[in-house]
Amino acid sequence: MPKKISLQELEQVTRVIRQYPDGIGIDALVRLAGMDVPRRTLQRRLATLVEQQRIQITGEGRATRYRLPTHLIGTPMSVQSTRATYDVTAVENYVTTSPEGEAVKAYIRQPRQQRKPVSYQIGFLEQYRPNQTAYLPASLRAQLHSLGRSPAEHTPAGTFARDILNRLLIDLAWASSKLEGNTYSRLDTERLIEFGQAAEGKDALETQMILNHKSAIEYLVCTPEQAGLTPDTVIALHAFLSDGLMPDPLACGRLRIRPVEIGGSVYLPMAMPQRVEELFGIVLSMAAEIIDPFEQSFFLMVHLPYLQPFEDVNKRVSRLAANIPLIRHNLGPLSFIDVPQQAYVDALLGVYELNDVALLRDVFVWAYERSCQQYLAVQQQLQPPDTFRLRYRNELAGIVCAIVRSGSKISEPVIQACLPAGVAYEDRSRFIALVIAEFKTIHTGNAIRFGLRPLEFAAWQESMA
């Protein structure tokens, strides 16, 4: 019979966690003074606290963090210890929910042992018929189209996202990472993305997560003609987002070949690798058939996490993949700004355990309305895009890479020597000036826009000193 965990032991764990409002990982808990217990013992205490709803789990895999519920931060320990259960809906930050969403939340908020264990249900996917079934009703889709309309709706795919790229990089990288328990502030994220400055006191994995988002977003925005709703695109997103974060480096950009479990859930995903690969192809094929971009977007947010096609980073992949239809139709992007983490987790658990999309739909609509509010002001401030730079963006990227990789110094003769054939004769002087101007603003943090790795650019920069 397992040893009963005393109240004093639980309070010892909670006392440490309360010192970290943004969450703390289990490795850090094991190392802290006063927490000199075996890892398995600590895991049992954490599981008990989660069951009692005295702490929350955020993130997944190596990014898992434990934190107090929002309303308990600052509450005396003597009061917390008496609250094994409580009405979180009265005080927590949440999205506006429908009656159907409330029913999902009520089920998910039951202790784990009271929820029925379930496996992957193929019927959930089979009963969906592209352009016949609709997770988002027609009236709701019309509302979203009205909210998301941009000044660039009649321009080539991806134009609007490129126009607001700087803002989108920061917002989406920060908000999506925050949903995984990342403790970077928005200002820290901005400094990292714009100037390559990592925040002090932050875990290197958190920095890597932000930079991975940056690379993945640039991939979607800068190559919309390639980044379609295909298995290759989604696998590429995983490669960008999981770079340096997977326990097994070979799992980066590869469909999983082993079973996975969902922390805090009674849902057990499909285990057979061959079946996972087959269903992954079916999900993307069905998504590509859907005509409405918002229905496409939401379908991906539902079925990619449900399938769990990768060993980790599935939710991040689904959030960026959900932006592909919006980017390609020049609609406002879905940045997930201010989305309450608990609402998002509850909504996914509703999909996993009940195959019910109601709460996730509530989160999706709330999140999109919030994102559109953010970008309304950005739209009003947009300057006309530099059409010359846009026309020659591929040639610009090519010549920047060529100069850096050849170890050459920036000069007009050097640029003329490797001038791309695609630059029209009458545009050459202006193109040379554009290249010189670009090299004045490029640094290790944004060199990836041209296909250069940060270390690669840093080595060239050092050789020029």
Q: Taking 80 as the threshold, does the pLDDT of residue 91 lie above it?
A: no
d(CA 94, CA 223) in angstroms, rounded, equals 35
Which stretches within 149-202 are classed as H helix?
159-163, 165-178, 186-195
Q: Taking 80 as the threshold, does the pLDDT of residue 352 lie above it?
A: yes
CATH 1.10.3290.10 occupies which residues in the chain?
A: 99-381
Instruction: List % helix, strand, coil for the chain (3-state, nearest 5).
Output: 60, 0, 40
d(CA 393, CA 386) in angstroms, rounded, equals 10
Closest C-alpha to 55, from 5, 95, 94, 12: 12
Q: Taking 60 as the threshold, does the pLDDT of residue 3 lie above it?
A: no
Q: Provide mean pLDDT across the span 273-288.
A: 97
pLDDT in tens, 187-221: 999 999 999 999 998 989 999 999 999 999 999 98
Q: Taking 80 as the threshold, does the pLDDT of residue 227 lie above it?
A: no
Q: Measured on CA atoms in the order 118, 119, 123, 127, is the torsion positive or negative? A: positive
* Window from 70-84, 211-225, 371-385 with minimum mean pLDDT: 70-84
C-alpha distances (whole Å) from 45 to each of 37, 53, 115 are 11, 12, 21
Pair of tokens at residue 227? 């980044």
| Unique residue bearing structure tokens 């009458």 | 426
CATH of domain 7-90: 1.10.10.10
Closest C-alpha to 446, from 265, 222, 132: 222
Pair of tokens at residue 441? 């603003």
Per-chain mean pLDDT for the chain? 86
Q: Measured on CA atoms in the order 130, 231, 261, 345, is the torsion positive or negative? A: negative
Closest C-alpha to 173, from 188, 155, 151, 159: 188
Pair of tokens at residue 366? 């709330």
Cβ density class 289-313: b for 16+ within 10 Å, e for less: ebebbbbbbbbbbbbbbbbbbbbbb
Q: At 67, is the secondary structure helix, strand, or coil?
A: strand
CATH 1.10.10.10 occupies which residues in the chain?
A: 7-90
Q: Provide mean pLDDT across the span 292-307.
A: 98
Share of the chain above pLDDT 90, in %: 55
Q: Taking 50 as the threshold, does the pLDDT of residue 89 lie above it?
A: no
Cβ density class 35-62: b for 16+ within 10 Å, e for less: bebeeeebeebbbbbbebbbbbbbbbbb
Q: At 268, is the secondary structure helix, strand, or coil?
A: strand
DSSP of 22-61, one letter per residue? Answer: T-B-HHHHHHSTT--S-HHHHHHHHHHHHHTTSSEEES-G
Share of the chain above pLDDT 70, in %: 89
Non-local CB neighbours of 456 within 8 Å, separated by 6+ positions: 404, 405, 447
d(CA 398, CA 376) in angstroms, rounded, equals 34
Question: In the CATH hierarchy, which fold is given to the domain comprising 99-381?
Answer: Fic-like fold (1.10.3290)
Which pLDDT score is estimated for 231? 94
Q: How confident is the model at residue 454 (pLDDT cuts 50, 70, 90)?
A: confident
Which stretches within 82-153 are classed as H helix?
99-108, 122-126, 138-148
Q: Provide mean pLDDT across the span 246-259.
A: 94
Say if CB 244 and CB 208 are below 8 A apart. Answer: yes
Q: Taking 90 as the threshold, does the pLDDT of residue 386 lie above it?
A: no
